Structure 1
Amino acid sequence: MTDIIAIDGPAGSGKSSVARMLANKLGLLHVDTGAIYRTVALRAIELELSLDDANALGNLARNLEIIEKSALIRTEAISQAASKVSQYPEVRSNLLDLQRRFAKDSKTGAVLEGRDIGTVVFPSATHKFFLTASNEKRAERRLLELEARGESADYETVLKEILERDERDQNRCVAPLKPALDAVVIDTTQVTLAQVVERISLAVHHRGSL
């Protein structure tokens, strides 16, 4: 099996930056599974589909072929829509094969980031990590990210939206957000993301197989 590094965690935990930096450091493919759900959300809005129509969203996910990589999927509105879309079993089941195919097609191995990589998408991943951070730190990171993109936002609103997303992610009936039993849990509140990358890199090499 191709070496798979699974990095899961809630919004603002640093998983996207860490996964991207780690993949570059180790020469592996980076797969942002969140972008897949964001693409479904974007296409649903473009097609004027109801975000409450699980069957229509499931069909959209089943036929998804091209993943949007532009800034269109990085707005706060799409983030919230993606969180709603990802609740539906019809959507999640139809995206499983796509996520797995991206990783398996890589000859070098892959770093996958998401919310259920180590528990559902690749439960037999070679290495599993779960990133977390305080609610305040996560909101701070998200606010800086939005401001860097030119979006207007305030701290209290961002914090509220993060907590609402946590509630949806942790309590959905299929693939809820939680660390795999064999995942290494890393609190990123008091450390830089570069330090997290270094810690994961050392753990991966210590365990071997890359």
Structure 2
Amino acid sequence: MTAHRSLLMPTSYSVILAVSGTHLINDLIQFLLPALYPVLKTEYALSYFQLGLLTLAQQITACFLQPIMGLYGDLRPKPYMLAVSMAVVAVGVVILALASSFALLLAAAAVLGIGSALFHPEASRVCRMASGGRFGFAQSSFQVGGNTGTALGPLAAALFVLPLGQVSTVWFGLLAVIGFVILIRIAGWFANHQRMLKSAGTPRTEGPQLSRPQL
């Protein structure tokens, strides 16, 4: 236990705060699509079945890809995957803003879901790395960011998107760009942390030194 703690870095509150903030951005953007359903239903004469397909496309990619990406990250950690995830979210926002057909709306929903699936496993891993052993604090802070984004998403849509229309969602792409810049910095911290762990090596557990006859 002592050897394990010796490999832990001090708690990095700035990293935890940054990841929590990007979690807020991601989840806020994810909830823009459901908040737009009244506008999309009227604008494209969508049925409730089609709205359900949009939800399915977003959620099925977000949910089913997450454990796959988590397993891949466990086997081969990719520090810059976090930044890639936010870039994918930004692409999804642009597609959503410019979509002119149900097929493009479906594509936007799937791309947003993929971005979310890429983000969550790696973000959770970084929070754990930055915890310095305070795993409960790090994870709960991470969740606060996501829950806040979930709460603000519909509100942002009501205040900005619904009055200005579908194309106004492109402005939320700026939030994704801000998140991308933050996560590039976090990726550098992640890579440095990995190098430090690799140079420290895996601690060996040494048993009592007994001579052969005593064994």
When normalised by structure 1's length, the TM-score is 0.27
Structure 1 or 2, whichever has the larger Rg, is 2
Structure in which a larger fraction of residues adopt helix: 2
When normalised by structure 2's length, the TM-score is 0.27
Structure in which a larger fraction of residues adopt strand: 1
